[in-house]
Amino acid sequence: MGARPIYYDTETTGVRVDRDKITEIAAYDPVEDRTFSHLVNPGIPIPKEASDITGITDDMVKNAPPFEEIGKLFVDFCEGDVILVAHNNDSFDYPLLKHEYGRIETDLPEWRYVDTLKWSRKYRPDLPKHSLQHLREIHGIAANNAHRALDDVVILHQVFSLMTDDLDIDTIYDLLKEDATTMQMPFGKYKGRPLRDVPKSYVSWLLDNGALDKPENETLKEGFSELGFIA
């Protein structure tokens, strides 16, 4: 029996994964038909611009548990052989989770991940946009309370099920991983080498110099992220 998917989403105080914090986390296990949804007290004020997007205010989270408690519950929910699925996972949700678990001095479990944004970009290059709400619209799925975590998780499951038809989650994971394992360095002193053979010190240098933040190097940055070279 293969892995089972866990669709998940986070709402936050902002988009800086190194300083912003989770205000809500939700997940859906379609195999066992279970849901997980909790507000989180981030311990810092929620900026108005974040509340305007998510609808989550300081008053709503003031009596909510901190991430230290919710993070443990989330690990329990994701017990077993699972692959976590999120939209823009590799650039946002995963780094955010890693920072949050680091703050409570807890190792992030060795989960595997699927980024549905990458899947959409790879297999639907004909689309002008790849946001979750745009994918919802083109697949004719009714709107819900966008930007609340559990609502986004439900939509993501519906959308991605249509996009992948009858592929199992292990196959989907392997198809996305092929990009990083076969990609070669396109420039610089290690040009032509497989990404996995590029020294991590060189990747850090590219990051520090902003080379991986250029739009034309987005795929390269994603490849290093998939290989675990970028946190």
- For the chain, the structural domain boundaries read 4-182, 184-226
**Contact status, residue 81 vs residue 4, Cβ threshold 8 Å:** yes
Reported in sequence order, the residue ranges of the chain that DSSP labels E, i.e. its strands, are 4-12, 22-29, 34-39, 82-86, 112-115
Q: Is the pLDDT of residue 14 over 90?
A: yes
**pLDDT tens for residues 29-56?**
999 999 999 999 999 999 999 999 999 9
How far apart (Å, rounded) are the C-alpha atoms in residues 52 and 165? 35
Active-site residue flag, 147 = yes
Report the alpha-carbon distance of residue 126 to residue 93 in Å, rounded.
Answer: 25
Q: In this predicted structure, which of 95-104, 170-179, 199-208, 216-225 has the lowest mean pLDDT? A: 216-225
Choose, from 87, 99, 134, 147, the residue flagged as catalytic.
Answer: 147
pTM value is: 0.79
Fold classification of 4-182 is: Nucleotidyltransferase; domain 5 (3.30.420)
Distance, CA of 34 to CA of 184 (rounded, Å): 40
Query: Model confidence over 132-168: pLDDT tens digits?
Result: 999 999 999 987 765 678 889 999 999 999 999 989 9
